[in-house]
Amino acid sequence: MPYRPNEIEKTWQAHWASHGSYVARIRRDQPKFYALDMFPYPSGKGLHVGHPAGYTASDVVCRYKRARGFNVLHPIGYDSFGLPAEQRAIEEGIAPQVSTAEAIETFRGQLERLGYSYDWSRVVSTADPGYYKWTQWIFTKLYARGDAYLGEAFVNWCPALGTVLANDEVIDGRSERGGHPVERKRMQQWTLRISSYADRLLQGLDGIDWPEATKTAQREWIGRSEGAFIDFAIAGRDECVTVFTTRPDTVFGATYLVLAPEHALVDGITVEGQREAVRAYQARTASRSERDRQASKEKTGVDTGARAVNPATGEQIPIWIADYVIAGYGTGAIMAVPAHDERDWEFARALRLPVREVIAGGDVASAAYTGGGAMVHSGPFDGTPTAGGEAVRAVTRWLAEKGAGRATVNFKLRDWTFARQRYWGEPIPVLKDDAGQVVRTLALPELPLELPAVDEYAPSGSGESPLARAKGWSTVDDAVTGRTLRREVDTMPGSAGSSWYFLRYCDPHNDAEFCSREASDYWMPVDLYVGGAEHRVGHLLYSRMWQKALFDEGLVRDEEPFAKLRHQGMVLAETYYTRGPSGRFDHVTVPEAVLERAEKTARVRVRGEEMDAEVRWEKMSKRKGNVVNPDDVIRTFGADALRVYLCFLTPLESDKPWQTSQLEAQFEWLKRVWRLFFEGDDDVPHAVDVEASEAELRVVHRAIDKVTRDLESMSLNTAVSALHVATRDLARLGTRSRAVLGAVAQLVAPLAPHLAEELWTRGLGHPATPGGIAYVPWPVAEARWLVDDTVTIGVQVNGKTCGTVDLALDASEDAAMEAARAVESVARHLAGKTVAKVIYKAGKILNVIAR
């Protein structure tokens, strides 16, 4: 019988499940290996082939590590709170608990059919009360630490829908559904003080093995900058405006101040004559969406009429408001030094404000000069060079002595708004009084605080969460305080449950603790985390913060959760665009037929009509009609072929253009592997106990060596190609050696585990053990089979290759020259010339310099 993946894959999946082949236990006599996949959001649409791209890579590594004697923890679960289920609840009235449970069942089946070696006994689901009990408990810890607080935050408020929208529900300043205008509205929101971890989040990056691009993204997101606060007294008032600047050395050039329009001091300091203009400008700013603000960098602003005193010069300078100053960064106020800051320069030019040069070296009349040089027009500091930071330090010290400033470090990182006005999330375990003040958080015995059943999932219309409708739930006669209190009706964001799930996997059934120290001390940190790069500053930063908070509480040993991180590329598919109403190719379509096809264009038939289309490679998504369902692929080619294909197509981190022909090619390769082990319709095994030939040993040990090195470095595509080569060569040699074929089965096992189990047992006659081939010790490459006695090296004349020659590895230079001269093409190049010099690196190259 030929290779029939559907039959053998089912058999082995059942074997692994019934024997608990991949159930992980703490074993102190073995090194541990914790491989983590970013758990999926279980959407109703099921898995698409984008998920297996990363999951396969980590599974290959896990299977390899088991064979290398590691005790592997490879869990999976579901990030099951989220908007799509909530949206379905609103639209169709289906409880998210129900639709999510269904989706999880679908996902589970699909993941099982891909042959992943997950420990299915450790599945977690963030929407499960047994799980979110601990998410809530950690929240109370954060609250106790002062890391969770009620703060004011801007939300996307849509008056027409009467609801707060998530960022991804707002497109171009309008609601995704209905296209209603969306405003920025200040609301009291639970907020996590991630900013107080900024320095540690920055420093922790130095010690972890992550893609450099991701570390850079986090560093920039955190945005540390050193500088100073400088106080500018307001003329005629007791107050002062504190600004943050990284260039205190330019303070003598500060010719005006700018406050963000939202700055708290604006109303108080604005002079009567300017009040109307200031109000109008504030209103204008509030109505402009973030997007509009970004689109136009034209400098606008209004003078408040108030004056501040420059503490360096003693001069009075105007105080303006302008939207180029961001309320949320620094102090929301700047000292403008138009001579040496491009933004200030543009503003000064647009509004005819004075420019004063205080650093020599540029022509500040024509452009801001941001380079270095000697200080000028700066009183006692004239002549001080800016190089080396001396000027900054000296001026900061001087201001500090005058009581007008101090050195500081500022971060871009803003606190994390940790509340959604939504039903489908973890209830925040807090009781408040009627004034909205927090009375207490719930204690562990009161957790989980479960979501109440509601009749209606739509937002309340007042901006409150749908939980506010559940009166019986939201009002509590509290036995602890003896008062009637109100529950928090906001829920946590999707990123809550995913910020610690990797810890719960270590001890998923623990009722007494979120995760025992014993379990986390053994399994943590994660040795390999594979997931999409889109989470580089979200989930991957939040998780690091929670880990640090838990570390501070003594609840975990490690300060960093993920020792090694790798991203997988996206799976891309061809997407067809036809002409939309605008005449441009901007309308996504799924053609009935492709009639003609060029590289980037095609002639297609859509609803019986022929038309031109553009073809682009884009990320698979349901909306674009270009998704490939793994179930369909598995039905035709098997999970093993899909796994091998995903590994082979491109390096792990590169995007993967979906090509069915390449998938088929890997299926064909697996068939060739099958035929290496079985003969004829009755599957007569080839393997016999004969001594392997030297040629066979060379092939197989070379493959062992290459595949081992490639799996270590996660170079899965080249590992597959090494196996292609070995399969081809062994087929030519007609290999029957049980030992050689055994090694082949083992090398194939991480990539195509079902096939390998079949080859190992039925093909080679090994008994089927509970653990299977994954636990058979990995073969070792013997060095003597890796080197050839003879090598083919290139022969160059004057640095240009003109032939090759086969030589003993240790051949002398004379022997090499003799052999080279015997090669006709080399002789031709040497004809009529005299050899001036010979460069010979044994086993590498022979280069003859001839004149």
> Taking CB under 7 A as the criterion, which residues in 229-248 touch RNA?
244-247
Question: Minimum distance between the CB of residue 683 and RNA, rounded to whole angstroms?
Answer: 14
Shortest CB 713 distance to RNA, Å: 9
Angle between helices 694-712 and 50-67 in degrees, nearest 10: 120
By beta-carbon proximity to RNA, the closer residue of 11 and 650 is: 650
User: Residue 54 CB, nearest distance to RNA (Å)?
Assistant: 16
Q: What is the dihedral of CA 590, 596, 601, 603, to 10 degrees?
A: -60
- Tell me the one-letter amino acid at 112: E
Residue with tokens 């090398």, as numbered in its chain:
747
- Residue of the chain from 61, 194, 649, 807 that contacts RNA (CB under 7 A): 649
Q: Which of 97, 196, 662, 769 binds RNA (CB under 7 A)?
A: 662
What's the CA gap between 663 and 646, in Å, rounded? 8
324 binds RNA, rule: CB under 7 A: yes
Binders of RNA among residues 452 to 481 (CB under 7 A) are: none
Stretch that binds RNA, among 158-166, 524-532, 627-635, 714-722 (CB under 7 A): 714-722
From residue 528 to residue 557, the character string flagging contacts with RNA as x (rule: CB under 7 A) and all else as - is -----x--x---------------------
Nearest distance in Å: CB 841, RNA: 5
Residues within window 359-398 making contact with RNA, judged by CB under 7 A: none
Residue 184: φ, ψ to 5°: -90, 125
Identify residues 412-451 at the interface with RNA (CB under 7 A).
412
Phi, psi of 625, deg, nearest 5: 65, 25
Please, which residue, 76 or 797, has the CB nearer to RNA? Answer: 797
Which of 97, 106, 85, 105 lies closest to 128 in space, CA to CA?
97
Task: Figure out which of the listed residues 353, 485, 633, 720 binds RNA, where binding follows CB under 7 A.
Answer: 720
**Cβ-proximal residues to 179 (8 Å cutoff; 6+ apart), any chain:** none
Residue placing its CB nearer to RNA in the complex, 316 or 717: 717
**Considering only 113-121, 132-140, 389-397, 643-651, which stretch makes contact with RNA by CB under 7 A?**
643-651
For residue 622, report the phi and psi dihedrals to the nearest 5 degrees. -55, -40
Residue closest to 147 by CA, chosen among 696, 575, 546 = 546
Contact stretch for RNA (CB under 7 A) within 164-172, 383-391, 500-508, 789-797: 789-797
Choose, by CB under 7 A, the member of 174, 406, 564, 672 that binds RNA. Answer: 672
Burial (CB < 10 A; 0-12, 13-18, 19+), residue 851, is exposed
Closest distance to RNA from the beta carbon of 332 (Å): 6
CB of 145 to RNA, least distance (A): 25
Taking the least distance from each CB to RNA, the nearer of 14 and 786 is: 786
Q: Which of 718, 768, 775, 842 binds RNA (CB under 7 A)?
A: 718
Candidate segments 508-516, 669-677, 685-693, 764-772, binder of RNA by CB under 7 A = 669-677
Q: Is 332 in the site for RNA (CB under 7 A)?
A: yes
Q: Which of 129, 173, 651, 685 binds RNA (CB under 7 A)?
A: 651
Chain mean position to CA 547:
17
- Our CB check for RNA shows the closer of 668 and 712 to be 668
Establish if 693 lies at the interface with RNA (CB under 7 A). no
Q: Which residues contact 834 (CB under 8 A, 6 or more apart)?
A: 850, 851
Rule CB under 7 A: say whether 668 interacts with RNA.
yes
Least separation in angstroms between CB 201 and RNA: 16
Give alpha helix (H) positions in 563-693.
Answer: 630-637, 639-649, 660-677
Q: Are 547 and 560 in contact (CB under 8 A)?
A: yes
- Residue 225 interacting with RNA (CB under 7 A): yes
Is residue 790 involved in binding RNA (CB under 7 A)?
no
Q: Does 561 bind RNA (CB under 7 A)?
A: no
Binding residue for RNA (CB under 7 A) from 503, 802, 816, 819?
A: 802
As measured in angstroms, the least distance from the Cβ of 636 to RNA is: 6
When the beta carbons of 462 and 825 are compared against RNA, the nearer one is 825
**Candidate residues 96, 330, 531, 753; the one interacting with RNA per rule CB under 7 A:** 330
- What three-state secondary structure class fits 795? strand
Q: Which residues of 358-388 are buried (b: 16+ CB within 10 A; e: fewer)?
A: bbbebebeeebbeeebbbbebeebeebebee
By CB under 7 A, residue 199 contacts RNA: no
State which residue, 559 or 729, has the beta carbon closest to RNA.
729
Q: Does the footprint of RNA cover residue 798 (CB under 7 A)?
A: yes
Binds RNA (CB under 7 A): choice among 42, 227, 750, 772: 227
659, 784, 786, 833: which one binds RNA (CB under 7 A): 659
Considering the rule CB under 7 A, would residue 601 count as an interface residue with RNA?
no
DSSP E strand stretches across 325-442: 333-336, 405-411, 416-417, 430-432, 438-441
Q: Which of 38, 153, 194, 334 binds RNA (CB under 7 A)?
A: 334
Question: Residue 318 interacts with RNA (CB under 7 A)?
Answer: no
Say how far apart CA 66 and CA 53 lie, in whole Å: 21
- Nearer to RNA by C-beta: 203 or 654? 654
Instruction: Give yes or no for a contact between 384 and 374, defined as CB atoms under 8 angstroms apart.
Output: yes
d(CA 763, CA 109): 28
Q: Does 794 bind RNA (CB under 7 A)?
A: yes
What is the spatial distance between Cα 189 and Cα 185, in angstroms, rounded to a whole number? 11
Residues 728-767 that bind RNA (CB under 7 A): 728, 731-732
Q: Residue 340 to residues 67, 244, 348, 364: CA-CA distances in angstroms?
A: 62, 16, 11, 8
Torsion-angle region of 223 (φ positive above 0: left; ψ -120 to 50: alpha; else: beta) = left
Burial pattern 52-78, b for ≥16 Cβ within 10 A else e, equals bbbbbbbbbbbbbbbbeebbbbbbbbb
Minimum gap (Å) between residue 642 Cβ and RNA: 14
Residue 710: CB minimum distance to RNA, A: 8
The whole-angstrom separation of Cα 397 and Cα 578 is 65
Q: Is 575 in the site for RNA (CB under 7 A)?
A: no
Does residue 410 touch RNA according to CB under 7 A?
Answer: yes
DSSP for 352-383, written as a single string = T------BTTS-TTTS---S--BB-S-GGGTT
Residue selected from 129, 162, 223, 452 as contacting RNA according to rule CB under 7 A? 223
Interface positions, 820-839, toward RNA (CB under 7 A) = 825, 828, 837, 839
Query: From CA 851, how far away is CA 837, in angstroms rounded?
Result: 10
Binding residues for RNA, rule CB under 7 A, total 85
Binding of RNA by 605 (CB under 7 A) = no
Among 30, 203, 216, 287, binds RNA (CB under 7 A): 216
293, 483, 600, 833: which one binds RNA (CB under 7 A): 293
The token pair that represents 290 in the structure block: 């973030």
Helix count and strand count (H, E) for the chain: 25, 35
Would you state the structure tokens that stand for residue 185, as one six-digit string? Answer: 């509205």
ω before 448 within 30° of 0 (cis)?
A: yes
